[in-house]
Structure formats: C-alpha cells, structure tokens
Amino acid sequence: MTEQSPALDNLLTESRTFPPSDEFAGQANAKADLYATADADREQFWAGQAERLSWDTKWSQVLDWTNAPFAKWFVGGKLNVAYNCVDRHVESGHGDQVAIHWVGEPGDTRDITYAQLKDEVSKAANALSSLGVVAGDVVAIQLQMVPEAIFAMLACARIGALHSVVFGGFSPTALRARVDDASAKIVITSDGQYRRGKAAPMKANVDEALQGAETVQKVIVVRRTGSDLEGETPWTEGRDLWWHELVDGQSTEHKPEAFDSEHPLFILYTSGTTGKPKGILHTSGGYLTQTAYTHNVVFDHKPGEDVYWCTADIGWITGHSYIVYGPLANRVTQVVYEGTPNTPHEGRHWEIIQKYKVSIYYTAPTLIRTFMKWGDDIPAKYDLSSLRVLGSVGEPINPEAWIWYRDTIGASKTPVVDTWWQTETGAIMISPLPGVTAAKPGSAQRALPGISAKVVDDTGTEVPHGGGGYLVLDKPWPSMLRGVWGDDERFRETYWSRFSEQGYYFAGDGAKYDEDGDIWLLGRVDDVMNVSGHRISTTEVESALVSHPTVAEAAVVGATDPTTGQGIVAFVILRGNAAESIKAGGGSAGEAAVQELRNHVAKEIGPIAKPRQIMVVAELPKTRSGKIMRRLLRDVAENRQIGDVTTLADSSVMDLISSGLKSGK
Ligand code: PRX
C-alpha cells in the first residue's frame, strides 16, 4: 500500500479521549445498546430503521443479496422519496416549521416552511412533467446553492426521474461528459452565480457544454444574478426556459406516485482511478433509510428543536445525503448558505450560526484548518453557544484541527463526530456516536450499529489490533451503490474484484486499528487524490495536461498540504520545441508556460483540479515495465529524502529530476 506521509504518522500518536458528558449521553438519540441490538439481527435492525419512513407498500424481504454485488433492499416495498421528505411533515401538522433558512451570499435571505416546500416541489414536478419528463429519465442539474436546486432534486424524486447533479465549479467539458454518459434529457442551471462578492456567468458555460448535445431537449434557467451579470444571458429559443416562467404558474397540487424501493433515485459522478468519472447509482428505499437513520443517530438530531447546518455543496454526495435526503426525511430545520466562507468577511459562518442559533454544524477538515489560519479572534466575536454537535467529513482530520474545532467552536464541550463514508456508500458508515463514544481526535473509530467494516491485509485476512492495511466493508448496507451507470463490469472490477474470494467491498482507503480496535483512516491507497475533501484522480489531471499541445508526458501526485489535505503536484515533460523556447526565454518564459498549463487543467476539469505546482522535468521515473513510480515523485513533491530507486529502469533519473529542480531548470 501507499507509504504514509509524516502528517498521517502524527495522527497515530494521538491518545487523548473525550467521553460525552452525562447530560449529553442521557438525552442522546442513540444509546450504547444499539450496537448489540443491531448485531443480534441485522436485517431485523434495518427493518426497524426503515420504519422511520412512510411506505405505500411494505416490503416482503429486507435484503436480497443473491445476485451480489447487486443488492436489493426492502424488496417489494414502494414509497415516494419526496413525499417522505416533504408532504408527510405537512400532513403531521408541521407545515409551518421552517425547513430551510436560506442565506444568499449578497445578504438576501429566504425562509421556506415545509408547506411552502411542498408547493415549490409540486410545482416543479408539474413543470417537469409538462416537458414530458417521465420516471426513469435523467435530469442534469448544475446549480449553485439556491433553493431551486433542492426543489429540482425533490421534484425529480417525486416523479421518479433521476437527477445527476454536476458541481457548479465543473468545466463545460466535465458537464458535457456527464450529460452524454447519462443521456440527460433536461439540464437545469442558472443565469449566473455569486462567488466572492461578484456575479459570474453560469448559463454561458452550460451553453458551451451543450453545443451539439443531442439528448438535451430543454434547458431550464433559474434567474439568480439577473442584471448584476454583465451582458445578456445567452439564449437558445425553443430550448431554453426561465424557471420562473415555467414553474411559477404551475399548480401546487401534485400526487406523488409510489415507486419501487429499488427505483433509481440519482446518479452522481465521482473520480476513479481512470480518467473517466464513474456515475454512481443510488436507489430509493435503502438509501433514504440509511441517510435518515445516520442523520438521526450521528448528529443526535431532534426535529423541531435543532437547527442544523451542513456546509457542503449539493454537487457532492454530502449535499445529497446530508442536506437534501436524510435531514428532510427527519423534518430538519436547516441553514443553506449560497456563498464562500469569507464573503464579505471571515466571520460569515459564525455570524450565521449566531443569527439562526445553529445547534448542529457539519463541515470538512480543510475548512476547519482554514478557520484556524484566519485566527481564533474571529469566532470569538460571535455567540456560538447554540452549538451542541460538530461533525467532520471528507478526509482524515488531524488531531490538532479536531481539538481546535472542539475547543474554539464547541466551547471545549461539544462532541465532535468524524464521519467516514464515500459517494459509493451513500451514507455515513464509520463514526462515533456522540452520546456513547469516548471520542479520539483523528479517528472515525467504529462502524455504526448495523454496519460492518474491517481492516484487512493483502490476502483479505483481518489484521490484529495495532495493525494496518486496507479498509473493507464486509456486509451489504442499505444505502450502498447499486452500480456504475452503464458499466456493470467496472462496478465489479473497481469495488469487488480485489477481495472477491471473501466478497468484501474494497473502499480504496488505507486504515489501521489501534490497540483498542478503533479504526484510523489513512487516506487513499489508489491513484485518487483528496484535495479539500474533493476526489480527483491523478489520471484525470494527467489526461488534461497531455491534451495541451506543449506537453509530451505528465505524471501527477497528491502531496500533503497543510490546508487542503493534499495538493496536486504535476511533473511534465514538454515537447521538444516548447522546451527549447522556454530555455531560450529564461525563467519568466518557464513561469508563463506553467501558468498556462495550470489554467488549462482548470478549463478542462474545473478550478478545483488546478495543480498547486507544476514541475518541468526532462525524464520521469519508470519501472522496467514502463510504470511511473509515483512514490518517488511524491518524495520530491513533499521534499523528502528519495526512497528506494532500485526498481527503476534508469536509477539516475531521480538525480536528474532533483538536480534539475534545485538549479531551477
Ligand atoms: O478517502 C476517503 C475520504 O474521502 C473519500 C470519499 O470521497 P467522496 O466519495 O468524495 O465522499 C466524500 C464525502 C463523504 C474516502 O474514500 N474520506 C471521507 N471521509 C473521511 C475520509 N477520510 C478520512 N476520514 C473521514 N472522515
């Protein structure tokens, strides 16, 4: 497996524990006996969790695993996911409860009650139906964090259409690849988005993406920036429709149809080890059961009392599972914030927490480290006493950041839950329970009740306490992915072939047990990087680089970064003439070429994939079979002593790279 970086080694020397207070433990949703209850009869346990939902037809079988790795949960059951997230709360007398406190970046706000949410989702569902969208169709959504994004997702769920949400920061090329892969019929976007105080165009990028896209019949455009945007919104007559013109006049009456528990709910693309992103498929009953259950037990959520805020973007799985589905199924009152954390000032999040009395806050380590950098005096200016649970997701959290989070944001008393999961798992899998677990900073600790995870060696044998290896999930779980869109082979190959004998799901993460048997996640063991909690494959960035005319060859590694977890470092060999002209032009020509390549990657994939650093080299270290030895490049990128070079075809290559970099060539 991948060698661990020094930062990860520090993780493993942390030994402090933080048990919950008696007061918190006493009122917690989940008590210690939940583990034993789940272990006694897993299927019975999950059947109990599914009772959180309202089913039109009850299932006849909890789990059908006969066609593994294709699972069926709550077989024969029928439900409507949107009804469960919206209507039933209105029917039970909570129509006036605020579902969403929406906060726009420029300072505009909107409070949406469950009754209003029901009307908006119903209108949007009627609108989609009026365009001929039917169950099984795919609707692509590229929207920033505006309420319409949530209305659109729930409207799709309501009529049985699949949504494929594409992160707003993805390039036209990335959007197009996703639209084509899923044959999306409709695209929903906005005219523009506010980002760091400025209005930036969105529709123009979508238009660029959709040139010649044959499957797309209509583009629905939410007006967000309007006249703030310079120039007119580009428009294709006959294809493009304003959201307000299409949706506002629709009826608020819409009867939700019950769909099979295994009816597809959405596709979400994520990076894998090859260049082409995978469309991860999730279905209805099991997904909603596990997102609702985990949201209840991990965050200790109390409907009608708590104010919850998950800072993720709906473009990622965290936004799907912990802004839209789990929380709304649990009748949450939540904050949804449109913008960046430092607009217009670095206390924006704390100001929002103070204003809405947020009690549960869920964010990513990269942001926590950024807050640390900005300084303790910023949160100190605000009243954060409403907070009672803090959560972390997306990458390993270093103990220092964990302690800072608890002390500075959580007044040295709130439980911190470090939640491990993936796009593929659909919901939280490994996490402390805030009223039960004596938390250890830096460790996600233990699989949740009903979930089973193991750390195994190369042969699939569980390692002893104190040992390290690969994280596997050894039993199926309700919110597990049901496949890779259109590619069953890739699904089997990526997740199920590594430990096929045992039938384990291979997560792609390295992990370790401590002496108590608690799990510590150690980062990816494949060629996937984790930059600010976003998954980006090395191959994806390499393909983007070699698509530039000056690049002959490229190798990309993720190097430890104090803020973003990992930073993208690229090594490129330039084509002969490009290399010559840089030599002739001196240092500034080299800098310009590197800058151009960084921008090229941002244009091809999106700004999140922009390499932190690009090093121009004459050779790349390869084995005799031609495989690039990234381990050695990572040593260079992290300024470490270069490791064992004996398997290189030409061991002098590393000297060449190191000396070239030192002399700035
Ligand atoms: O490497 C793990 C890391 O993020 C990967 C999943 O990324 P994605 O599908 O984008 O989902 C992110 C949000 C759920 C994992 O394979 N990861 C996620 N959470 C943690 C983590 N690594 C360590 N600790 C975590 N809490």
Q: What is the pLDDT of residues 282-329, one digit of tens each?
A: 999 999 999 999 999 999 999 999 999 999 999 999 999 999 999 999
Q: Residues 264-280: what's their mean pLDDT?
A: 89
**b or e along 225-263 (b: 16 or more beta carbons within 10 Å of the residue's beta carbon)?**
beeebeeebeeeeeebbebeebbeebeeebebebbbbbb
pLDDT score for 14 = 67
Q: What is the mean pLDDT of the chain?
A: 94
Please determine, for residue 594, whether its predicted confidence score (pLDDT) is greater than 90: yes
Band the pLDDT of 43: cuts 50, 70, 90: very high
pLDDT digits (tens, 9 = 90+) for 366-417: 999 999 999 999 999 999 999 999 999 999 999 999 999 999 999 999 999 9
pLDDT score for 580 = 80
- The alpha carbon of 428 and the centre of ligand 1 are apart by a number of angstroms equal to 10
> Which segment of 91-105, 127-141, 344-358, 628-642 scores lowest on mean pLDDT?
628-642
- Residue 325 resides in a domain: yes
Pick out the residues of the known binding site for CoA: 195-198, 318, 342, 532
pTM, two decimals, is 0.92
pLDDT score for 407 = 97
DSSP 517: S
Band the pLDDT of 13: cuts 50, 70, 90: low
pLDDT digits (tens, 9 = 90+) for 472-504: 999 999 999 999 999 999 999 999 999 999 999
Band the pLDDT of 39: cuts 50, 70, 90: very high
**Which residue, of 390, 414, 438, is where some domain finishes?**
414
Please determine, for residue 12, whether its predicted confidence score (pLDDT) is greater than 80: no
Atom of ligand 1 nearest to the CA of 430: 26
**Which residue, of 356, 380, 414, is where some domain finishes?**
414
**Taking CA 527 as the corner, what is the angle to CA 525 and CA 528, rounded to the nearest 5 degrees?**
90
In angstroms, the CA 352 to CA 348 distance is 6
pLDDT score for 607 = 93
CATH value at residue 553: 3.30.300.30
Q: Return the residue whose CA atom lies nearest to atom 14 of ligand 1.
A: 422
- Residue 50 resides in a domain: yes
Band the pLDDT of 4: cuts 50, 70, 90: very low
* Ligand 1 pocket residues where CB is under 6 Å: 270, 317-318, 393-396, 418-423, 444, 507-509, 521, 524, 530, 535
- Residue 526 resides in a domain: no
Q: Which domain holds residue 658?
A: 543-662
Whether the Cβ atoms of residue 192 and residue 232 lie closer than 8 Å to each other: no
**Which residue, of 396, 414, 432, is where some domain finishes?**
414
Nearest to 363 by CA among 407, 412, 397, 329: 397
Please determine, for residue 572, whether its predicted confidence score (pLDDT) is greater than 50: yes
Q: Residue 153 corresponds to which tokens in the numbers above?
A: 């997702």
pLDDT score for 514 = 94
90 and 234 part of one domain: yes
- Residue 98 resides in a domain: yes
- Number of folded domains in the chain? 2
- Residue 458 resides in a domain: no
276 and 138 part of one domain: yes
CATH value at residue 223: 3.40.50.12780
552 and 407 part of one domain: no
Please determine, for residue 661, whether its predicted confidence score (pLDDT) is greater than 70: no
- Residue 296 resides in a domain: yes
The ipTM (two decimal places) reads 0.99
Measured between its terminal Cα atoms, the distance across the chain in Å is 33
- Residue 507 resides in a domain: no
- Residue 73 resides in a domain: no
Q: What is the DSSP string of 573-595?
A: EE-HHHHHHHHHH-HHHHHHHHH
In angstroms, the CA 20 to CA 406 distance is 12
Band the pLDDT of 557: cuts 50, 70, 90: very high
Q: Residue 471 corresponds to which tokens in the numbers above?
A: 């994280």
